[in-house]
Amino acid sequence: MTDYDVIVVGAGHNGLVCAAYLARAGRKVLVVEANQQPGGGAATREFADGFSVSACAHWLTHLNPEVKRDLALEHHGLTLAARDLDSIGLDPGGQHVTVKGDSVDGPSISTGDKAAYQEFHRMTLKFSSLLANAFKLRPPKLVAGNFSDRLNLARLGLGMKLMGKQDMSELLRLALINIYDVMEERFDNELLKATLSFDGVLGAHMGPRSPNTVFGYLYRRVGDVYGFNGPAVVRGGMGGVGAALVEAANSHQVVCRTGVAVQDIMLKADRARGVRLVGGEEITAKLVVSNADPKTTFNKLVGLPNVETGLARRVKNIRMQGGAAKLHLALDGLPEFKGLSAQQLGQRLVIAPTMNYIEEAFNPAKYGEYSTAPAMDISIPSLHDASLAPAGKHVLSAIVQFAPYALRAGWESEKDKFKSLVIARIAEYAPGLEQLVTASELLTPVDLEQEFHMYGGHWHHGEISLDQIMFMRPFPGATQYGTAVDGLYLCGAGTHPGGGVMGLSGRNAAREIIKRGNLA
């Protein structure tokens, strides 16, 4: 007899989604989370007295509607403070560009660019719909796939064919080139090109000229297929997603233990038989599902000596060095951005004036240095949700790229310098910002790794690139959520389809486990 049917290691949103689905199907499930707060990268953090932000992910752009519905997340308290926000590319002179669903506007945007954007939006949405279909299914195995795998592969092929000859060949062409070239082909306005291309490199160790960036862009646009017409802000911060998921999981009798880390996954020969907590407590289960990223799972929890060499090697080869930092500011009042109205301040603000600016921000990251002129994705969520800051005061949250995990000089000595530089950069668009700042913090990828236990502080638990997606994610041989260790599954962002607060990795993993049925 085991204590549980399934133990899920980690209460990140995917771990909770997986647990809730499994419990809904009648499994007795325990979730063990190292942090006090559930949600993993979907967390809210009070970083200064009375000031809270989304500590890691700050926009809800991707949450899968089926997951939301199946787990009744709205019923369990998930509410949006704002949705369908615009992305505003900031211009130092105030000539901003606004991307609003399928249209784009701004004083510097030509009619040609407007029309070109509509066509681009139509076409990419079509591609992203195809991706969305693939996201729902477990990725087929390439070799020795069974019938349903072959069917899934055929569906994907058919989906491509059904797009029509022109779009299909365009997809095949685009998939492997870079977003820089695509932008150059289609648009004139520098700021527009930069604003759009930044979506292709968010969370990635890539510049606009890197391969895979078109895929990165399409990946983001899958949110559109899920009914998001631009980013949304969760009430109470991203922790609201975690909290609603805990409620949903509880309603299916999932037991959640937070504030206690799993020391290791216990094995008998090459089968998982439970977990040992820090402190020594042992809990057994028929299956263990890890929400931790694949490197943490195998390096730390399973231990490389307990798996075969080929597997250890594949784990080692996963590319997952985070390059995004998070800046949090407590503000004494609402900052003023040149040329932005108060209403516009609540939108997604992007600092990336040109594609070369992003590329040049990326260059130092290749050599273990941070950008001296970083690109940024900024949110002032207190404009939509007064609970995040005391009355009249505000919080600002920014995703900052690039801040490489393995900083050559080491983050201890460099962090404060980098933080001042980032604040100064925003202040170029929002003069007087520095005077409003009453508290601030910068989370480097090293901090993110420590806080959220994601190896390398990587957004997706592993780079999203063509060699690490679908039947290659997280690595060949572990692509259908199961692993070479019998009874051990993966359900985090490191698995197909990947990161972002989406819930599909967790859902797909649960479906696969339920499908395989046999718990013995």
Partner 1 sequence: MSEYRDETMMLKTPFHSRVEAANELNEWDGWSGYTTPVAYTDVELEYFAIRNSTGVFDLSPMTKYRISGPDAEAYLNRLVTRDVSKIKIDRVGYVIWCDDEGQMMDDGTLFHLGKNDYRLCSYTRVMDWMSWAAMGFDVRIVDETSEVAALAVQGPTSCACLSAMGLTGLEELKPFGIKRFTFADTELMVSRTGFTGDLGYELWIEPQHAEALWDQLFAAGKHYMIKPIGSSALDLARIETGFLQAGVDFVPAQDTVRIGRSRSPFELGLSWLVDFEKPVFNGRKALLKESVEGSSYRLVFLDVEGNKPAANSFILVGPEQVGTVTSAAWCPTAKSNFAFAQVEAKYAEVGRELIAEIYYQRELHWTRLLAKCTVVAAAPFNPPRRRQTPAPMC
Ligand X SMILES: Cc1cc2nc3c(=O)[nH]c(=O)nc-3n(C[C@H](O)[C@H](O)[C@H](O)COP(=O)(O)OP(=O)(O)OC[C@H]3O[C@@H](n4cnc5c(N)ncnc54)[C@H](O)[C@@H]3O)c2cc1C
Q: Please give the residue ranges that form the binding site for partner 1 (CB under 8 A).
A: 267, 269-270, 299, 303-313, 316, 484
Write down the least CB distance from residue 161 to ligand X, Å. Answer: 31
Counting Cβ atoms within 10 Å, is residue 211 exposed (0-12), middle (13-18) or buried (19+)?
Answer: middle
Q: Cβ contacts of residue 149 below 8 Å, gap of 6+?
A: 140, 141
Question: Closest CB to ligand X belongs to which residue?
Answer: 12
Considering beta carbons, is residue 155 or 276 the nearer one to partner 1?
276
Write down the least CB distance from residue 316 to partner 1, Å. Answer: 6
Write down the least CB distance from residue 149 to partner 1, Å. Answer: 19
Considering beta carbons, is residue 331 or 485 the nearer one to partner 1?
485
Q: Distance between CA 397 and CA 415 in Å, rounded?
A: 17
Considering Cα of 411, then 417, then 418, then 420, what sign does the dihedral take? positive
Q: What residue has token string 């899958």?
A: 222
Asked if 512 contacts 489 with a C-beta cutoff of 8 angstroms, the reply is yes
Considering beta carbons, is residue 1 or 520 the nearer one to partner 1?
520
Q: Measured in whole angstroms, how far is the alpha carbon of residue 318 from the centre of its chain?
A: 17
Which residues lie near ligand X (CB under 6 A)? 9-15, 32-35, 40-42, 56-59, 61-62, 203, 261-262, 291-292, 296, 301, 322, 324, 326, 399, 448, 452-454, 457, 459-461, 492-493, 499-501, 505
Write down the least CB distance from residue 119 to ligand X, Å. Answer: 27
Other beta carbons within 10 angstroms of residue 517's beta carbon come to: 7
Write down the least CB distance from residue 198 to ligand X, Å. Answer: 13
Asked if 14 contacts 492 with a C-beta cutoff of 8 angstroms, the reply is yes
Considering beta carbons, is residue 59 or 215 the nearer one to ligand X?
59
Q: Measured in whole angstroms, how far is the alpha carbon of residue 446 from the centre of its chain?
A: 17
Write down the least CB distance from residue 104 to ligand X, Å. Answer: 21
Q: Which residues pair with 31 in a beta bridge?
A: 8, 256
Write down the least CB distance from residue 454 to ligand X, Å. Answer: 5
Q: Which of partner 1, ligand X, none does 305 bind, CB closer than 5 to 8 A by kind?
A: partner 1
Asked if 180 contacts 358 with a C-beta cutoff of 8 angstroms, the reply is no
Q: Which of ligand X, partner 1, none does 240 bind, CB closer than 5 to 8 A by kind?
A: none
Q: Which of partner 1, ligand X, none does 364 bind, CB closer than 5 to 8 A by kind?
A: none
Considering beta carbons, is residue 267 or 513 the nearer one to partner 1?
267
Instruction: Indicate the helix (H) or strand (E) that contains 509.
Output: helix 504-516
Q: Distance between CA 152 and CA 140 in Å, rounded?
A: 6
Q: Distance between CA 92 and CA 339 in Å, rounded?
A: 9
Write down the least CB distance from residue 461 to ligand X, Å. Answer: 6
Considering beta carbons, is residue 44 or 505 the nearer one to ligand X?
505
Minimal CA–CA distance to 21: which of 284, 190, 251?
Answer: 251
Q: What residue has token string 């013995």?
A: 520
Considering beta carbons, is residue 116 or 315 the nearer one to partner 1?
315
Q: Which of ligand X, partner 1, none does 500 bind, CB closer than 5 to 8 A by kind?
A: ligand X
Considering beta carbons, is residue 235 or 338 the nearer one to ligand X?
235
